[in-house]
Amino acid sequence: EQGPILLDGKATSAKIREELKEKCEALKAKDASMVPGLAFVLVGERTDSATYVRMKKKACEEVGIQTYGHELEESLSEDKLVNLVKELNANRDVHGILVQLPLPSHINERRVLDEISVDKDVDGLHPYNIGSLVLRGCEPRFVACTPLGCMELLRRYEIPIRGKRAVVIGRSNIVGLPMSQLLLKEDATVTCCHSKTEDIASYVKEADILVAAIGKAEFVKGSWLKPGAVVIDVGMNRVDDETRQRGYRLVGDVEQQECRKHASAITPVPGGVGPMTIAMLLNNTVSSAMRIYSV
């Protein structure tokens, strides 16, 4: 029996990073002072956040993006954080600003994100950028990296979208919501499901393209799928596993093995959406630098 196409985010991401590396080299060859720069702002000591930032920084350095790290104490005041963002907005070497979420609870996340210059908002979370994504006739400067990575994967595997029934489970600012809008812009008929949706299986059964961005391990059952569906599994959930050295393994928001019996294409976890997210962060930063340098 033939299994589904595996939408290989790891390999695709490697290819994209190769392309970006060449772009960075071409920039530098033109003018040695032209180096894309990404500023990281990390507040507090969450180990998961620190890990994400470390991974992203490493990926930047590999393609030739200069990183600027700002690791700040948990107790930092909101005003001080806003001032840092303003400095980074004004800093001409910085082309992208990434404030690692979540922020400590005493800080108003929205106020900080709104301060990031629309021109350096590589995470695509500024209302102006989301509004420009949603409105017809507008082009956002930046789109959130995870949904952008999902779209890029669909594009590179030439999965048709127009006219298809797409179901997106999850409506977070950073994944589900922009994902729905991107699929709609590509002319899918899009249904947005969430925790208040009744009988989710009935929607999944109709989906030609299913995007699961829920944050619940193996939430989507293989038996729910429409035969031949394309499955994008955004979930990254830790499940205890004593057979692993780390004590856990990563599983997605869909039953991976059961879904493979019905899907025509599926993203593995890990190695699917995760690496694409990082590739899109690099891509957004390099594009931003090229825009600001007017190249």
Interface residues with ligand NDP (CB under 6 A) are 146, 169-172, 174-176, 193-197, 200, 213-216, 234-237, 253, 273-274, 277
3 state SS of 98 = strand
- DSSP codes joined into one string, 135-174: STT---S---HHHHHHHHHHHHTT---TT-EEEEE---TT
Q: At residue 133, what are phi and psi to the nearest 5 degrees?
A: -70, -40
Distance CA 55, CA 52 (A): 5
Instruction: Answer yes or no whether residue 78 interacts with its own copies by CB under 8 A.
Output: no
**What are the residue numbers of the active site?**
56, 100, 123
Q: Are 143 and 181 in contact (CB under 8 A)?
A: no
Instruction: Answer yes or no whether residue 135 interacts with its own copies by CB under 8 A.
Output: yes
Instruction: Please count the residues of the chain.
Output: 295
Residue list 106-125, contact with its own copies (CB under 8 A) = 109-110, 125
Alpha helix (H) residue ranges in the chain: 9-30, 47-63, 78-90, 109-115, 127-134, 145-156, 176-185, 200-204, 256-260, 273-292
Instruction: Answer yes or no whether residue 89 interacts with its own copies by CB under 8 A.
Output: no
Q: Which is nearer to its own copies, 167 or 279 (CB)?
A: 167
Q: Which is nearer to ligand NDP, 66 or 172 (CB)?
A: 172
Count other Cβ atoms within 10 Å, centred on residue 288: 23
Q: Minimum CB separation from its own copies for residue 53, in Å?
A: 22
The C-alpha torsion from 206 through 180 and 183 to 279, rounded to 10°, is -120
Chain position carrying tokens 């208040």: 196
Q: Which is nearer to its own copies, 153 or 167 (CB)?
A: 167
Q: Minimum CB separation from its own copies for residue 110, in Å?
A: 5
Instruction: Answer yes or no whether residue 105 interacts with its own copies by CB under 8 A.
Output: no
What tokens does 226 get? Answer: 């429409």
Instruction: Answer yes or no whether residue 184 interacts with its own copies by CB under 8 A.
Output: yes
Q: Which is nearer to its own copies, 158 or 199 (CB)?
A: 199
Binding range to its own copies, per CB under 8 A, among 83-91, 127-135, 264-272, 282-290:
127-135
Residue list 150-169, contact with its own copies (CB under 8 A) = 162-163
Among 23, 95, 126, 226, binds its own copies (CB under 8 A): 126
177 binds, among its own copies, ligand NDP, none (CB under 5 to 8 A by kind): its own copies
